[in-house]
Amino acid sequence: MNYDRALLKRFVDVPPSGIRRFFDIVSTMKDAISLGVGEPDFNTQWKVNDAAIYSLRQGRTHYTANAGLMELREAVSGYLNERFGVQYDPKTEIFLTVGASEGIDLALRVLVDAGDEVLIPDPSYVSYAPGVIFAGGRPVPIRTYEEDDFRLTAAALRDAITPRTKALILPYPNNPTGAVMERADLRALADVLKDTNIVVISDEIYAELTYSGHKHVSFASIDGMKERTITLNGFSKAFAMTGWRMGYACAPRELLSVMLKVHQYTILCAPTAGQYAALEALRSGYDSGYAYVREMVRVYDQRRRIMLDAFRKMGLSCFEPRGAFYTFPCIRSTGLSSDEFAQRLLMEQKVACVPGGAFGESGEGFVRCSYATATDKVVEAMRRMGEFVASVRR
């Protein structure tokens, strides 16, 4: 059997995630504190689990409609309108996906053909570029800079557009930088996009997690942009439901119906028990004024401040992230590369972080530290990191 002839080169050639190597080392280490975790440390609310268990007791174990339970789509529609002021018709403009990740894959598959370009702010979440390659396209990174608070600027966007540009991925609040986009920033992008045929894939999975007075602005809420925007979101970060794999895709009917067709033929529907869990998360969220979400944000914010204060004392520059649950300190002043920094910090002080280079070339010189970890562990990790940085400088 010649596997090389059997397998497509473009799939084989995508390197495994740079995060994997650290995973292997950390998992064998005792008393290591991991700041490398990209999911909430909070547990799913028990009433949400209970709603799924109840649905199983009721024997609700069949397929749902391809797009998902109508009452859940209605709840999502109401939620997006209430929280972010965007209007999507639950009948034709929303469907439930297996995590927001499925939405990314579907959007790229229906938009991207061989040789098409997809613009991706860099650094960004590790899955976008491989997703574009899997779809046959060419990922085009757009460098973002600490000086711009890692925002995507209209000028950089304009410079990156070519006749082959099919889509722009807009991943804000951003993983790994914690950057957010203000309404004015998005309006400036809209000005560049309005005379093009570029579709915006807006990954808003961290929309609920914002700090220091910032409130997430949905790109579809910018005048004239809804028609070209695919809004992706889900329950993983907002309701601490990562393992449920529940997300949703929203777009004008013309775009969404084609994505739904792929979903219908390949996935059929999101898991039924997960849909009942998600419904409970939205309903009880609405009833309580999203108290659970607010409580998580309050605690994340405290840890974010602990980290920023610690970096300042260590003499590491770090722009103030106002979204997601990551800090992205610059470690160039230590004279180490991000890889060396992360590797040595792990070996010498048993603290794991992720080298910025894993998120794209412009992440080099930075490391990603997640504060989705118990407050006392964050404090201890910062103490150890402080010792490490001092020892490197000595």
Partner 1 sequence: MIHDLELSILEILFNDARTTPQQIAVMTGHSEPEVTAVIRSLEAQKIICRYSALIDWDRVKTDQFEALIEVRVTPQREQGFDAIAEQIYRFDEVNSVYLMSGAYDLMVTVRADSLKSLALFVAEKLSTLENVLSTATHFVLKKYKFEGVIFNEHKTDERLVVSP
Q: Which residues of 344-367 are buried (b: 16+ CB within 10 A; e: fewer)?
A: ebbeebbbbbbbbbbbbebbbbbb
Q: Verify binding: residue 39, partner 1, rule CB under 8 A.
A: yes
- Of 22, 276, 290, 319, the one binding partner 1 by CB under 8 A: 22
Burial of 368 (0-12, 13-18, 19+ CB in 10 A): buried
- How many residues belong to the site for partner 1 (CB under 8 A)? 29
- Of 250, 352, 369, 389, the one binding partner 1 by CB under 8 A: 352
DSSP label at residue 363? G
- Of 4, 13, 287, 376, the one binding partner 1 by CB under 8 A: 376
CB nearer to partner 1: give 125 or 341: 125
Quote the distance between the C-alpha of residue 249 and its chain's center: 14
Rounded distance between C-alpha atoms, residue 325 and residue 91, angstroms: 33
- Of 10, 37, 258, 330, the one binding partner 1 by CB under 8 A: 37
Q: Segment near partner 1 (CB under 8 A), from 23-31, 153-161, 220-228, 332-340?
A: 23-31
CB nearer to partner 1: give 77 or 175: 175
CA-to-CA separations, 46 to 98, 210, 282, in angstroms, rounded: 21, 24, 14
Alpha helices in 94-182 (DSSP H): 99-111, 128-134, 154-160
CA-to-CA separations, 232 to 32, 103, 214, 218, 380, in angstroms, rounded: 34, 6, 20, 10, 35
Which token pair is 279? 């419904």
Rounded distance between C-alpha atoms, residue 205 and residue 324, angstroms: 9
CB of 124 to partner 1, least distance (A): 10
Which x/- pattern over 95-134 shows residues binding partner 1 (rule: CB under 8 A)?
------------------------------xxx-------
Of residues 170, 177, 192, 169, the one with CA closest to residue 145: 177
CB of 20 to partner 1, least distance (A): 8
Which token pair is 62? 């069949």
Q: Segment near partner 1 (CB under 8 A), from 68-76, 132-140, 145-153, 305-313?
A: 305-313
Q: What part of residues 171-230 is at the interface with partner 1 (CB under 8 A)? A: 175
Q: Verify binding: residue 288, partner 1, rule CB under 8 A.
A: no
CB nearer to partner 1: give 38 or 137: 38
CB of 179 to partner 1, least distance (A): 17
Rounded distance between C-alpha atoms, residue 124 and residue 326, angstroms: 12
Strand pairing report for 246-250 and 326-327: unpaired
Q: Verify binding: residue 41, partner 1, rule CB under 8 A.
A: yes
- Of 7, 11, 23, 91, the one binding partner 1 by CB under 8 A: 23
Rounded distance between C-alpha atoms, residue 158 and residue 193, angstroms: 8
Q: Segment near partner 1 (CB under 8 A), from 3-11, 30-38, 49-57, 223-231?
A: 30-38
CB nearer to partner 1: give 126 or 259: 126
Phi-psi region of 353 (alpha: psi -120 to 50; beta: other; left: phi over 0): beta
Quote the distance between the C-alpha of residue 67 and its chain's center: 22
- Of 156, 192, 200, 354, the one binding partner 1 by CB under 8 A: 354
CB nearer to partner 1: give 88 or 239: 239
- Interacting residue ranges for partner 1, rule: CB under 8 A: 17, 19, 22-23, 26-27, 32, 34, 36-39, 41, 125-127, 175, 298, 302-303, 305-306, 309, 352, 354, 358, 375-376, 379
